[in-house]
Amino acid sequence: GAVVSQHPSRVICKSGTSVKIECRSLDFQATTMFWYRQFPKKSLMLMATSNEGSKATYEQGVEKDKFLINHASLTLSTLTVTSAHPEDSSFYICSARKTKNREHQPQHFGDGTRLSIL
Amino acid sequence: KNQVEQSPQSLIILEGKNCTLQCNYTVSPFSNLRWYKQDTGRGPVSLTIMTFSENTKSNGRYTATLDADTKQSSLHITASQLSDSASYICVVSVGTGGSYIPTFGRGTSLIVHP
């Protein structure tokens, strides 16, 4: 159980395009979802935390107008990279947790989205 | 500043051998520590979780230890298999009360050769 599906797995698009990435919890309700970014050979960097029905909390240095997060239901969160540029090329990973603010509940990760901006 | 340092950065071993990965952290307040396995191009998968009071936790051939006094953890892999080739990430959860933020190490890249 506790499967998180992320779509698409890979996207290549032109500079200036907006890209939407979906993260779905398939067999559980995810009160909290996280979005991460990972550069090659680097650790995952938390971008934002979103609780269902409320605005996302962005980490310092992450532009909220650039990376739009919507967590409208308990099974779906979306990340939209607006007007993407080559420097936005990265591996984006989402994770979901069943309950809010319960530290021992594990995060279940999606398989990531490889975004390449030409 | 909360930090999680992992060593070695990369490791190559022969199939069947044992290995130990290290994780040192300087986070406060400490909540829990997890080890994840991340295959190339995939999301991380949780291997073990330990809270402050736990010293060791096993999951099959994986055994994690935690020394909360020295703020060190290790992940021991026994009788390695080719499928163990992956990045192993140490994640320390920081926080109390209503907010818990995970702090990720950079990972150790393990390659198991036949």
pLDDT tens digits along A30-50: 888 999 999 887 888 899 998
pLDDT tens digits along A57-111: 999 999 999 999 998 888 999 999 999 999 999 999 999 988 655 556 678 899 9
pLDDT at residue number A91: 95
Each residue's pLDDT expressed in tens, for chain B with a length of 114 residues: 778 999 999 999 999 999 999 999 998 888 889 999 999 888 899 899 898 888 999 999 999 999 989 999 999 999 999 999 999 999 998 776 655 678 889 999 999 999
Say how many CB pairs under 8 Å bridge A and B: 55
Taking an 8 Å cut-off on Cβ atoms, the answer to whether B46 and A93 are in contact is: no
pLDDT at residue number A103: 55
Closest CA to B21 of B92, B60, B80, B73: B73
- Cα torsion through B52, B53, B55, B60, rounded to 10: -90
Secondary structure of residue A100 in the 3-state scheme: coil
Burial of residue A34, with CB atoms counted within 10 A of its CB: 0-12 exposed, 13-18 middle, 19 or more buried = buried
Instruction: Find all residues with CB under 8 Å of B73, minimum gap 6, and list them.
Output: B22, B23, B24, B25, B33, B35, B50, B64, B65, B66, B67, B90
Phi, psi dihedrals of residue B82, rounded to the nearest 5°: -55, -35
- C-alpha distance from B44 to closest chain A C-alpha (Å): 6
pLDDT at residue number B87: 95
* Bridge partners of residue A70, in order along the sequence: A78
- C-alpha distance from A90 to closest chain B C-alpha (Å): 11
pLDDT at residue number A100: 55
pLDDT at residue number B99: 58
